[in-house]
Amino acid sequence: MPEPDLTSTEPRPVYVIGAGPGGLAVAAALRARGVRAVVVERSGAVGASWRGHYDRLRLHTTRRLSGLPGLAIPRRFGRWVARADVVRYLEKYAEFHELELVTGVEVTRIERAADGEGWTLHASGGRLLAARAVVVATGYNHTPALPDWPGREGYTGRLLHARDYRNPAPYAGQDVLVVGVGNTGAEIAADLAEGGAARVRLAVRTVPHLVRRSTLGWPAQRTGILVRRLPVRLVDRLGAYAAKAVPDLTAYGLPRPASGLYSRVLEGAAPVQDVGLIKAVRGGRVEPVAAVTGFDGGEVVLADGTRITPDAVVAATGYRRGLEGLVGHLDVLDERGRPIAHGARAPRNAPGLYFTGYTNPISGMLRELSIDAVRIAKALSRGRTAGPTRQP
């Protein structure tokens, strides 16, 4: 891959911040349209987030529907691509498209250029980068979020965020509490149960919608694509009907949710695709328990008043977008720290500033990143900007 000169400003390139799938896809789509794009990545390689995920992880979307623009994911990686193979694919993608990529440089702040033409990026090492336009693609899972539980700082047990969990080997024979029953928490709990942990408990605050990753060969992702634009109430009804294909785990401490599946998605809670949790719960190897409300010395306090003393607590409590320092002063974020516009539509008050990868669509993150990339490239190749759209 070429080594770009970050000090060059003639002509001003489009700077893409982040060398994950979203950033690489945008850069490739721009290059295909003859627009110079420079990808700036704070870590030492592409796909940093994927490199840090737990070993067991596989895409919950199919290989055929997860490829980025201009290069399919190899068939040898299988239908459900493993974490390590996603990393290999991203490395090959950057090489194949000959992307201009700079690693080890962090962009810390974006400001409007003094001359009113484009943007100025403040980067590590005192660099000031002049950009025609900017695409922010630092990722949905950027900054680990750990709740400020009472007593957390004084907890004498082992507490780690899911980001720091790799595999079950260090927990063999141990009592482990997993906090959070999103896709990550559910899969880590199943991984621990299958990997030799003596006891696995799963702290549940809000009961999730459980869905099959695939039913008779039909992936849940394709259903998500088909229903995404339908009325919320209709999709909720369809989801309730589809839930009958999933065993009722009420007797095990996981009742069916009262709210609709798509209503929950729009609130930011994706359905949990089953990759072993149902079997582990029914087999008694994963025990759902009440939510964590605090810590007291070496004890974990649960919402029902129970106090437990696990050997380790794995907090699968999600991530923040972490955009406040970068663009918070530009009035382009909502009250939850998410961009008010995404994809090919820039905020009205910030033309030339684009965001990709900050939603969690049921149709598949990589698929939507690919669609965003092509649309952003079209917008920039035509030199147009636009106002915000409704979050999906």
Domains of the chain from N-terminus onward: 14-142+321-381 (3.50.50.60), 146-318 (3.50.50.60)
Residue 239: what pLDDT?
A: 86
Cis peptide before 208 (omega within 30 of 0): no
Give the pair of three-digit tokens for residue 332: 């382009």
The CA distance from 42 to 328, in Å, is 19
Residue 243: what pLDDT?
A: 82
299 bridge partner residues: 296
Backbone phi, psi, residue 301, to 5°: -100, 125
Amino acid letter, 351: P
Residue 9: what pLDDT?
A: 45
The CA distance from 98 to 288, in Å, is 48
Residue 288: what pLDDT?
A: 98
* Total-model pTM: 0.90
* Alpha carbon 250 to chain centroid, angstroms: 29
Residue 4: what pLDDT?
A: 56
* pLDDT by 10s per residue, the chain, length 392: 445 555 444 479 999 999 999 999 999 999 999 999 999 999 999 999 999 999 999 999 999 999 999 999 999 999 999 999 999 999 999 999 999 999 999 999 999 999 888 999 999 999 999 999 999 999 888 889 999 999 999 999 999 999 999 999 999 999 999 999 999 999 999 999 999 999 999 999 999 999 999 888 899 899 999 988 899 999 999 888 888 889 999 999 999 998 899 898 888 788 999 999 999 999 999 999 999 999 999 999 999 999 999 999 999 999 988 999 999 999 999 998 999 999 999 999 999 999 999 988 888 999 999 999 999 999 999 854 433 333 33
Give the pair of three-digit tokens for residue 390: 């409704």
The helices-and-strands tally (H runs, E runs) of the chain is 10, 22
Residue 389: what pLDDT?
A: 37
Q: Specify whether the CB–CB gap between 121 and 128 falls below 8 A.
A: yes
